Structure 1
Amino acid sequence: MGEGVSGKSTAETWPFFVLMDEVSGQRPSNNPPVLIASIPGETLGPSSAVGDHEEEPAPPPPPTKKRRARKDELVELLREDMRFQRETEERRARESRENGTTVFSS
């Protein structure tokens, strides 16, 4: 561990470097681009930079029925919760009128 230019701190002098290095598995956190060394006198065409591989077919779109069914279930759950809250507020208001007390809703 050392100091950078003009005595400034470096990544290794950062107090959390060891912990973060351990968390990242002591691997760089980014994927550097692949570099191809240029060889004098040899001209590479675009076909040599691209591998001869077939493209994989795109996965089929997810079924919409399941998504719609889940969405409908969520909407119904929200409606049920709203009904429950409304009924609870109405019951509290009715009880407060019967008891002659004031209810403050939050």
Structure 2
Amino acid sequence: MDIPERPYGENRIYVSEHLDRLRFIKRAQALGFSLSEVESLLSLSASNCAEAEQLANRKLILVNEKLADLSRIQSVLERAVAGCRSTQPYEGCPIIESLIDPKA
């Protein structure tokens, strides 16, 4: 889709197709698709569901991996915070110790 020409000293006039395209791009980005992936999705026709499904499945795998990573991070932080509450001031800080020694 071409960008409409801009008459000298005036604003471009966009049509509804431009707005639809922008909404598509923003919705895809909100789902975590990169601009490169959005470009791939835009190049597909509405009847080419198999390629769109492949792109979405790859994105879903990445999202699940990120969720697993975040869950591990959450567990470590919860243990560190709980350990911090149960220590005396002279015993050291479990949060700092866990950052120094990952086995702590």
TM category, shorter: 0.3 to 0.5
TM-score in terms of structure 2 length: 0.37
Higher RCO (C-alpha 8 Å, min separation 6): 2
Larger radius of gyration: 1
